[in-house]
Each structure stands twice: as C-alpha cells, then as structure tokens.
Amino acid sequence: MPSIDVCFSPELLHLYDLKGKAVVAVDILRATSTMVTAFAHGAADIFPVMQLEECRAYAEKGCLTAAERDGVKAEGFDLGNSPFGYMSGKVKDRSVAITTTNGTRAIRMSEAADEVVVGSFLNLQAVADHLESLQLDVLVVCAGWKGKFNLEDTLYAGALVERLQDTFTSENDATLASLYLYQAARHDLTAFLRQSSHVRRLENLEINKDIEFCLQHDTFKVLPVWRQDRLIDLNAKRELV
C-alpha cells in the first residue's frame, strides 16, 4: 500500500524526498481554494508564480493576472485572491497568472514531485480519487503562513487522510495529528477555526464569506495538476456540481 504523510510548512520540505511522490499542495485560505474555483468557472490554465513582477509580466502573454499580499489584492492586477472574484465569467477560457503570499510558493516548491495536485476542501474527493488511481506515496504540503504552521491546511490534510485511510498507510505523527484534529473539528470547522490566526486576519479584512466558502466540502470535481509550467484541470469541462 502507498503511504500518506503531511509536511506542515514549505520550510520543512527539505526533510522530504519528493521523487516518486505525489504532492498535494494546499492553502485553504485561500489560494488553492481560489484556483479550484477558477477552474470550476472555466479558467483554461493557471500559472502560479512566486514574485509580483513575474506575475505582472504574464499580462504581455495575454494572461489575466492575479496577486495577493498579506490578504489584500495587490495593486495593478486584474484579480485578487477571493474565490468570489473568479465567479463572474471573467476567467472563462482565459489563462490566469497568480501570485499569493504562501499558496503559490507551496506549489512551486513542490515541483520536484512526480505529480503535484492542488487540493482544497472544495475538490476533496476529486483529489482523493486521483491519488487512489496514481498509487504513489503522497505528501500533503501545507502552505502555512510565512513558513509557520496553520490550522486550516492541517485540517484539510486530516480530511484527506480520512478519505484515504483504507487505501493508504501512514506511520508518522504528522498524519495522525492532522487526522485527529480534523475529527475533533469536523462538526463545525468555522467555529473551530475562529481563533486561528489567518481567520482573524481575514475577518479583520471583512471577508468572512470567503472563509465559509472555502470550508465547503466537495463542491467541485476540479482536479488541478502541474504540467510543465502551469496548472491544468485534469477533469476539465465538468459542470459545477
């Protein structure tokens, strides 16, 4: 049986060998939830990049550009990092270049893996199904916040572990801790996360509806995977469910 493990921060990635593994990169609030939403609303592909200037340059290639720093849309870009900004039809059939404080970094730092998948609660089962079909060892890479642990990405890791517990083994405390945390929180994730640092940060920015949205499970069948220099949706052209 393949195994599943959890890396609580991209800063810990040096402890793991990504070769031969599938990475699930996750930034629940909000980057990976937003990318999944963008694909669900017809985005053709997504270029996650680390730097603002690199992102801005994609405009010349005909891409929409999206940028967030410290929870706020960066000036001079077409889009920010709220999933609601991607629902109006604006991204349909468009390429989107995006840079965010932590999420795009987690994705790009995972490139050495055999497969990189973008996870969120919104596409939880689509990711679980894909991992079961791949039969590779899995590492969930939590984006965290500026190198530090966060609760929401860990809860996602636990949710994924729960979905895969009959088909994957795990022999590490990070996986167990994520699972136990999710099981303790699952009855009301919003309440559980109320004291978490990023929820407080986002609440101060008055974006509570983003938090509620990003905590919904299995809203989309979208499956963003890294191919060469971009993310594509392996389940493209599916209807919203």
**Structural contact between residues 2 and 135, judged by C-beta atoms closer than 8 angstroms:** yes
Shortest distance, position 170 Cβ to ligand 3SL, whole Å: 26
d(CA 136, CA 92): 32
Q: Helix, strand, or coil here: 71?
A: coil
CB nearer ligand 3SL, residue 29 or residue 127: 29
Return the number of the residue (170 or 196) whose C-beta is nearest ligand 3SL. Answer: 196
CA distance 99 to 241: 27
CB 179 within 8 A of CB 165: yes
Q: In this complex, which beta carbon is closest to ligand 3SL, that of residue 149 or of residue 176? A: 149
With respect to ligand 3SL, which residue has the nearer C-beta, 100 or 178?
100
Least CB distance to ligand 3SL at residue 219 (A):
18
DSSP state of 166: T
* In the complex, least distance from residue 30 CB atom to ligand 3SL, rounded to whole angstroms: 4
Q: How far apart are CA 36 and CA 225, in angstroms?
A: 11
Rounded-to-integer distance, Cα 129 and Cα 178, Å = 20
- Site of interaction with ligand 3SL (CB under 6 A): 27, 29-31, 68, 71, 81, 100-103, 143
- The residue among 10 and 158 lying less far from ligand 3SL, judged by its C-beta, is 10
How many CB atoms are located within 10 Å of the residue 42 CB?
16
* Contact of 139 with 6, CB cutoff 8 Å: yes
Closer residue to ligand 3SL (CB): 22 or 31:
31
Tell me how far, at minimum, the Cβ of 214 lies from ligand 3SL, in Å: 8
Minimum gap (Å) between residue 140 Cβ and ligand 3SL: 16
Name the minimum Å distance from CB 159 to ligand 3SL.
Answer: 18
Classify residue 190 by its DSSP letter.
H
